[in-house]
Amino acid sequence: MKKALVLSSVSRTILAVIRSLGRGGVEVHSAWTRPNCVSLRSRYVHATHDLPPYSDADLNWKTALCDLMRRERFDLVIPCTDIDTLALHRHRADLERFGRVYTPNDEAVAVLFDKHRTNELARSAGVRMPREIVITDAAGARDAWWQLGSPLVLKPRRTFDHPTQGLAVRKVYSEADLLRILPKFLAHGPVAAQQNFIGHGVGVELLLDGGEPLLAFQHVRVHEPLEGGQSTYRKSVPVSPELLDASLQILRPLRYTGVAMVEFKLNPATGDWIFVEVNARFWGSLPLSVTAGADFPLALFEFLTAGRRNFPPHYRAGIFARNLPLDLEWQIVNLHADRSDPTLATKKLPAVVGETIANILTLRERWDSLTLDDPAPGIAEIRGLMQRAFAKLTRSHRALDAETA
């Protein structure tokens, strides 16, 4: 039996990878996984290994990982987050003395883990981009504010500089807020300010060899954070030839080999769209593509370990997948949001209720963590939600009793 080591602390991504490989007959081991991660309850996890956390300064993690690889003789080591991928890429030569490690090639890592260089590549390839001004100081920020308008989308060069410091893409709605948060961003280098684009997120997901697609899938975001971010509810749709071509215009020059998700925003009223970014690793909405029949983790494993290149070109469109904890948070925020603001990704309550009932009745509804063949992670997630809700209700009652005492 072939063996894989999956590295990640992101529950829904690593769980989809674990299930995909396990169903395909691969013995799955896990490491760098948080102790409370529901993925550890999966029946497809053969073993979990305790490795020191990644650090640039302390390489005990690398020594431990090399020892683990020497002992277990994995056919492939698969990272699932940006930090995991960069860690393995930086030390790939040492690690591959003990087994095969999956990371994108050097040029792809240099470009796609740098949002500014990614934007430059997309722009040079003629891919549609929003208006953009690179900010280096307060004067440039004021200029961008008056040229591009409100809200302004701020993108740091990297969303992280090292494992303990993260910077998120965010929108600002006033010049005062822009100037207030700017120093934190500029401390890590220039910031790209982009004009806001009204639309919903669309992802084109790919497995490529040298920039040529072996497997393709597309989803649209049904629910996403009101100001943008990872989706909580999404739908499988047929691949758009136009968006696929735009994706390849970016990835072909890099001779990209591996999995990637190219993100766009689409305005359904006008049909216009823009490029947003590339995730050069497995993506948060991966459970949907696996459920719909585009099995990227197993395809990647078989491609890299056995040289397989032919994969089923068709998958089921019209399947919906929900990240239950995040979507419940979205439901609460959406309920209280200002639906008159076109820059917020809100939905009317009847539409939210109607789509849920319709999808359940037509058997198109799926949950990321709960599957019939592997129910334990989903049950653990639901139990955790109920415990947190009960704890919150208890605190509310105590506060009310204290006020009335």
CATH number at residue 81: 3.40.50.720
Q: How far apart are CA 174 and CA 274, in angstroms?
A: 24
Counted domains in the chain: 4
- What's the sign of the alpha-carbon dihedral 359, 329, 225, 350? positive
Q: How far apart are CA 32 and CA 54, in angstroms?
A: 9
- Strand segments, DSSP code E, in 165-319 are 165-166, 170-172, 191-195, 200-209, 212-223, 233-237, 258-266, 273-279
Q: Residue 253's closest CA among 108, 89, 86?
A: 108
Same domain for 268 and 382? no
Name the burial class of residue 357, with classes exposed (0-12), middle (13-18) and buried (19+) by CB atoms within 10 angstroms of its CB.
exposed
Same domain for 97 and 155? no
Name the burial class of residue 400, with classes exposed (0-12), middle (13-18) and buried (19+) by CB atoms within 10 angstroms of its CB.
exposed
Same domain for 320 and 241? yes
49 DSSP β-pair partners: 31
Domain that holds residue 115: 109-123+198-372
Same domain for 202 and 191? no
- Strand segments, DSSP code E, in 71-190 are 76-79, 132-135, 152-156, 160-162, 165-166, 170-172
Cβ atoms 8, 31 nearer than 8 A? no
Q: How far apart are CA 207 and CA 148, in angstroms?
A: 36
> Mean pLDDT for each consecutive 10-residue tract of the chain (405 residues)?
90 90 97 89 96 89 97 97 93 96 96 94 96 92 91 83 60 91 88 92 97 98 83 96 98 98 95 96 95 98 97 95 92 83 80 91 94 95 86 67 61
DSSP state of 380: H
At residue 160, the pLDDT reads: 58
Angle between helices 138-148 and 175-186 (to 10 degrees): 130
CATH code of 335's domain: 3.30.470.20
Same domain for 334 and 321? yes
Same domain for 237 and 379? no
Same domain for 205 and 177? no
Same domain for 166 and 144? yes
**Could you tell me the two tokens for 11?**
């529950």
Same domain for 260 and 363? yes
Same domain for 288 and 215? yes
Same domain for 214 and 355? yes
Same domain for 114 and 253? yes
